[in-house]
């Protein structure tokens, strides 16, 4: 299995990083795209450099390289997780604007009917954000706002982030030790 993780310029880059870290101990080949906006958010919200995030993945792609392997429908990959997904990226995806590598790969997922999960982080959402989310869903994307659950009774923010990232990967059929299922 191959999964592309796009990390865009919205607060919550920790979710995308957690997903990449969870993929390390699996048989999944991970590809990452860290956008320019994400690079600024990484600097503001974490102690990680973009290079450190890219090193977690098996393959890193430049966000401006629309000629990258993952930009083609002929490249064999299973889907994409955009985590977090900025409202700009959501708007591009919802309207079929393949500007940059993340929206291009998302477009490939939609046209090839591959799994595409957009983890939106904006709150509250403007009407345009909601309309774009609906259009992305109509096109075949899963819109998964960053709304982690607390039924696991986490002790730290890192646990909250990791369990939510595990839940996102579970939607791709990726089993991780961090995934805790509700048993009633």
* CATH number of the domain bearing residue 165: 3.40.50.1950
8 to 37, 57, 86: CA distances (angstroms): 6, 16, 6
Sign of CA dihedral 62, 39, 76, 29: positive
How confident is the model at residue 67, as a pLDDT?
95
- What is the bridge-based pairing of β-strands 29-34 and 115-120? unpaired
Residue 53 lies in a domain: yes
Under 8 Å between Cβ of 67 and 97: no
Which residue numbers in the chain have pLDDT < 50? Answer: none
* Contact residues for 96 (Cβ-Cβ < 8 A; gap 6+): 107, 139
Residue 184 lies in a domain: no
How confident is the model at residue 84, as a pLDDT?
98
Residue 51 lies in a domain: yes
Residue 166 lies in a domain: yes
Tens of pLDDT, residue by residue over 60-97, are 999 999 999 999 999 999 999 999 999 999 999 999 99
Residue 87 lies in a domain: yes
How confident is the model at residue 181, as a pLDDT?
80
Can you give the pTM of this predicted structure? 0.96
How confident is the model at residue 112, as a pLDDT?
97
How confident is the model at residue 180, as a pLDDT?
79
Spatial distance between the Cα atoms of 161 and 71, rounded to a whole number of angstroms: 28
- Provide the residue range defining the domain that includes 11: 2-170
Residue 178 lies in a domain: no
Query: For the chain, how many structural domains are there in total?
Result: 1
């Amino acid at each position: 299995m191959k999964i592309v993780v796009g990390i865009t310029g919205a607060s919550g880059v920790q979710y995308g990083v957690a997903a990449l870290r969870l993929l390390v101990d699996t048989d999944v080949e991970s590809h990452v795209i860290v956008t320019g906006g994400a690079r600024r958010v990484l600097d503001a919200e974490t102690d990680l450099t973009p290079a450190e995030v890219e090193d977690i993945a098996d393959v890193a792609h430049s966000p401006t390289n629309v000629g990258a392997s993952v930009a083609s429908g002929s490249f064999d990959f299973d889907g994409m997780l955009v985590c977090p997904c900025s409202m700009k990226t959501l708007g591009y995806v919802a309207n079929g604007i393949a500007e940059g590598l993340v929206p291009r790969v998302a477009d490939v997922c939609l046209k090839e009917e591959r799994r595409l999960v957009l983890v939106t982080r904006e709150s509250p959402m403007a009407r345009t954000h909601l309309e774009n989310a609906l259009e992305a869903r109509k096109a075949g994307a899963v819109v998964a706002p960053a709304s982690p659950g607390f039924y696991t009774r986490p002790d730290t923010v890192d646990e909250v982030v990791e369990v939510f990232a595990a839940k996102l990967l579970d939607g791709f059929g990726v089993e991780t030790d961090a995934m805790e299922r509700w048993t009633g």
